[in-house]
Amino acid sequence: MSERYAARKVAKSQSPAKQGRPGATRTRLARWSKYVLLSAAVLAAVTPVYWMVTISLKSEVDQFASPPRWFAFTPTLAHYYDAFFTRSFAKYLTTSLTVAGLSTICAVTLGTLAAYGLARFKLRGKLDQRLSLWILSTRMFPPIVTAVPLFLMMRDLRLLNTITSLVIVYTALNLPFVVWMMRGFFRELPRELEEAAMVDGDSRLGALVRVILPLVTPGLAATAVFCLIVSWNEFLLALVLTQTDASMTLPVGIAGRVTQYEIKWGVMSAAGVVAMIPILAFAMAVQRYLVRGLSL
Amino acid sequence: MKIVEHGERSDSKTPMKSNRRYANTMLMLVAVASLCAVLPFTGCKSAGPGAKQLSLAVNSGVEGDALKQAARDYESLTGVRVNIAEFPYDNLFEKEQIDLTAATGAYDLIMLDDPWFPRFASEQLLTDLAPLFQKQGQTGPDEDFIRASIALCKHPYETGATFALPYVGNSQLFFYRKDLFEKYNLKEPATWDDVLTAAKTIDEHERTGSPGGGRVYGYVMRAARGNSAVADFMPIFWSFGGEMFGEDHLRRFPQPAVNRKEAIDALKFMIELGKYAPNGYASFNASEVSAHLLQGTAAMSINWPAWISAFSDPEKSRVAGKMNFAVMPGARTEGRAEIGNWLIAIPRACRNADAAFDFLLWATAADQMKKSALAGNPPTRRSVFTDSELLAKFPSYPAQLRSLERSRPRPRTPQWNEIENVFGIFISRANSGELTAEDAMNQANAEIAKIVERNSR
C-alpha cells in the first residue's frame, strides 16, 4: 500500500498536469518493473522453503518424480514420524533449544555489559579502543583453526559431549559480535540520559538497566536474533565437541542422514522444517524491534 | 588503573562514585567467571580402571544403527556400559585418524570402511588380534566368515596378521529391469558386451516407456569426480584386464599402470556405454543414479545392496518388483564387483583391549550378525547368508553371496584416498567429453605416479 502511495506521489511530482501521458507511462512502467522485481525476490526466497516443506511431505517416489510434482502428490507424515519418533530428533531439538537459548542469554548479557563499558569509559593509553579491536580480532580467523584446540581443552575439562561445552563455545563465538553491535547502539545515546538518572540518585547499573537498556531494546532484539541464528545453525564446532545422541544438536543430527550410500532427503527436510519454527517464532515475536534495530 | 568516562578529562580529580562501583561490579564478574572456569578442574575425576565401560565410534547410517543396537543389548546382558560416538560418514575417517594418531585412547573400538584399513594398519595404529584370540583359546577368526571379507582385515592383504573383524559385507551388484529384459528377449548379461547390446535395444525401443511417459535410458552410472566415478569404473576396468599398479604391485611404492591398453579400452567402453545414459551422467552421484532406477527411467546400473530393499516398496519405487540383482558381468576376464565392507577394529592405544575384544567377538558372532542383517546390513558370514528366515526376507542373498565371494578390494595402498580422488577426476573428465580416453589415462597415470613418489620420500 505504502509503495503504491509513494509511486503515486512520485507520479504527481513528475507530471503535475495529469494529462502528461509520456510521464504517466514511464511511471506505470517503473511501478510494474518494481513489482516484477519484488515478485522475483519473493519467489527466490520462498521457493526453497516451499521445496523443503513439500519434500518432507512426499514419499520417496514423489520426491524424485520427473517432471517434479509441485502440488499433485499424496502427503505423508512418515518422515516426521521417522525423525521424531523412530530417531532421536526430538532430543536433538531440545538440545539445540537449550544450547542456543542459554548461549544467547550469556552472550547478550556479558556482551552488553562489556559494550557499555567500552562505549562509556576511556582507559589509559587508548586501551579501550585496543580492547575493542582485540575482541573483534577473535572473529577474524576461520573457526576451523580453533576446532582442535577447543576439542583438546574440552577433553581435558571433561566437558566433551556436554551441553555446557557448547554453551561456553557459542557464547565466546557470539561475544565479539554482541560487543561491537551494542557498543554502536550505546554510543548513539547521549550520556546526559544516564547522568540525569544518576543525578536523581540512581546507581550506574540502575541507570543502565532502567534508562539505557529500554532505549536500546531494538538493538538488543536484533543482536539476540543474530546470536540465536548463529548458535542454532552452527555445525562445525558442534560436530567436533559432541557425538552422543544425548548431546547432539540438530544440524549435526541432520547431517548424519547423509549416509554412505544414500541421502535421506525426507527425514532431513522434516527435521529442517521443524528446525525453522523456533527461529521464525522468535523473529516474529521481536519483529517490531527488529526493523528498527537493523536500521539504527 | 583509573577508569574515566569518555568525554571527561582523564586528569579529572573527582571521578564519579558510581564509576568505581561499576568497576567493582565488573571486577566481581571477572572473579566469578574465573571461578567458573576453574571449577571443572577440581570437580569430577574419570572413572577408574576398574569401571567397566567401553567407548565405540560408529558411522551414522544403517550400519552404525545396527552396532548401536548391539551395544545396547550387550550392555543389558553384561552390565558393561558402552558409550557410543556417532559421526557422519564424511567425518568418521578424519575423526578416527586424529584420535588414532594422537593415541588418545578415546575409543576402545572403531568402525571403519575397508579402504581406510591399509592406512591405519600400515601406520601401526590398530591392535593385532592374534594374542587376544589366543587368550580366548582360538587360533583366529572362524571359517564361517567369507574369505574375501576376512582378507580385508589382514595386513598385508590376505596374508598378514588380523587387525579387525568384518561386520557388514557390502559388495556391488548389477541391477537390471527384468520386465524389459523379458520384453525384448534379452538374457541376464554375462558380459559387458551383453550390457551394451541390451542398453542399445532398450534405449531404441523405450523412448516413451517410463512410468512418467518419458524415455527409459539403457544404462545409468555415476561418473562424478572422486569416489563415484572410480567405483562405477572399477568393475569394467578389472574385467578388461586393467590393473591400478604394474608388476611391482607388491612393493611398498609400486608404479601405476592405468595408461596401458587394457585400461584405455575399458575407459573407451565406459564412454560408449555413456551414450545410452541420461545427459549429465558425468556429474551423477549415488542419489541421481538411484533416482533414475527408482523412477523407472533407466534400465541397468551398478549399485550397492543398500538400495535393494527400495525396489520392493511401491512408496519408494515406481517399478517395484521389476528389478533383478545379478553378479558383475565380465569381459576379457571374469566379472568382479568392488567390495566395500565395514570392519570393526581395536585402536592400538586402547586401554581395555580384553573387554573391547570380548564385545568385538560378540557383535560379529552369527546370532548378532543376523539381527544386523534383519535391519538391512549384508552379513559377512556364510551361515547368515544361508539362513532360511533371511533368505525368505531377502531373495537377493544368493546373488549377493556370489558377488561378495568373487569381489575385489580397492587397491590396498595407504594412499588410496588420494589416488582415488585423482583417478576419479580424469575418469569424469573423459566421460564429460573434455578429454579423450588416452589423454585421461595418461594424465591420471602421471598424477598417480606423483602421489606414489611423494609418499615414498
Is A166 within 8 Å of A241 (Cβ atoms)?
yes
Amino acid at A18: K
Q: How many CB atoms sit inside 10 A of residue A12's CB? A: 11
Which residues of chain A make contact with B296, given a CB cutoff of 8 A?
Answer: none
Provide the pLDDT for residue B249. Answer: 79
* CB-count burial class (<10 Å; 0-12, 13-18, 19+) for B319: buried
Q: What is the ipTM of this complex?
A: 0.73
Provide the pLDDT for residue B237. Answer: 97
Best CA proximity match to A259, nearest among B230, B91, B303? B91
CATH architecture of A80-295: Orthogonal Bundle (1.10)
pLDDT at B42 over 50: no
User: How far is the alpha carbon of B265 from chain A, nearest alpha carbon, in Å?
Assistant: 28
Is A222 within 8 Å of A104 (Cβ atoms)?
no
List the domain boundaries for chain B.
53-162+340-405, 173-338+412-456
pLDDT band, very low/low/confident/very high, at A20 (cuts 50, 70, 90): low
Is B391 within 8 Å of B160 (Cβ atoms)?
no
pLDDT tens-digit series, residues B434-457:
999 999 999 999 999 999 999 887
pLDDT at B4 over 70: no
d(CA A216, CA A11): 38
Is A274 within 8 Å of A82 (Cβ atoms)?
no
Provide the pLDDT for residue B250. Answer: 77
Core vs surface per residue A117-141: b (16+ CB within 10 A) or e: bbbbbbbeeeebeeebeebeeeeee
Q: Helix, strand or coil for residue B57?
A: strand
Which residues of chain B make contact with A186, given a CB cutoff of 8 A?
Answer: none
d(CA A233, CA B250): 48
d(CA B210, CA B206): 7
Amino acid at A212: I
Mean pLDDT over the full length of chain B: 88
Tell me, yes or no, if B60 comes closer than 8 A to chain A by beta carbon.
Answer: yes
pLDDT tens-digit series, residues B400-426:
999 999 999 999 999 999 999 999 999
pLDDT at B7 over 90: no
User: Which stretch of DSSP H or E encloses residue A281?
Assistant: helix A265-285
Contact B6 A120 (CB under 8 A): yes
Contact B290 A159 (CB under 8 A): no
Backbone angles phi, psi at B231, to 5 degrees: -60, -40
Mean pLDDT over the full length of chain A: 88
Contact A64 B83 (CB under 8 A): no
Q: What's the CATH code, domain B173-338+412-456? A: 3.40.190.10
pLDDT tens-digit series, residues A40-72:
999 999 999 999 999 999 998 888 887 888 888
Best CA proximity match to B447, nearest among B416, B426, B417? B426
pLDDT band, very low/low/confident/very high, at B10 (cuts 50, 70, 90): very low
| One fold for B53-162+340-405 and B173-338+412-456 | yes
> Which residues have a Cβ under 8 Å from the Cβ of B326 and sit 6 or more positions away?
B173, B174, B176, B188, B189, B399
Q: Is the dihedral of CA A199, A201, A206, A209 positive or negative?
A: negative
A-side interface with B, Cβ within 8 Å?
Answer: 59-61, 64-67, 76, 78, 110, 113, 117, 119-124, 148, 155, 157-159, 161, 191, 198, 203-205, 239, 243-245, 248, 252, 255-263
Is A171 within 8 Å of A108 (Cβ atoms)?
no
Q: Which residue has the cell 548431546?
A: A247
Tell me, yes or no, if B39 comes closer than 8 A to chain A by beta carbon.
Answer: no
Q: Which residue of A has its CA nearest to B317?
A: A61
Q: Which residue has the cell 587360533?
A: B139
d(CA B372, CA B379): 8
* CB-count burial class (<10 Å; 0-12, 13-18, 19+) for A95: buried
pLDDT band, very low/low/confident/very high, at A24 (cuts 50, 70, 90): confident
Cis-peptide into A67, omega within 30 deg = yes
User: How far is the alpha carbon of A155 from chain B, nearest alpha carbon, in Å?
Assistant: 10
Q: What's the CATH code, domain B53-162+340-405? A: 3.40.190.10
Q: Helix, strand or coil for residue A5?
A: helix
Which residues of chain A make contact with B104, given a CB cutoff of 8 A?
Answer: 155
d(CA B16, CA B23): 11
The C-alpha cell that represents A151 in the structure block = 576439542
Average pLDDT of the segment spanning B127-151: 95
Provide the pLDDT for residue B300. Answer: 97
Q: Helix, strand or coil for residue B344?
A: strand
Which residue(s) pair with B302 in the sheet? B174
Tell me, yes or no, if B76 comes closer than 8 A to chain A by beta carbon.
Answer: no
d(CA B158, CA B409): 11
List the domain boundaries for chain A.
1-46, 80-295
User: How far is the alpha carbon of A20 from chain B, nearest alpha carbon, in Å?
Assistant: 55
Contact B90 A59 (CB under 8 A): no
Provide the pLDDT for residue B106. Answer: 82
Is B327 within 8 Å of B337 (Cβ atoms)?
yes
Q: Which residue of B has its CA nearest to A154?
A: B40
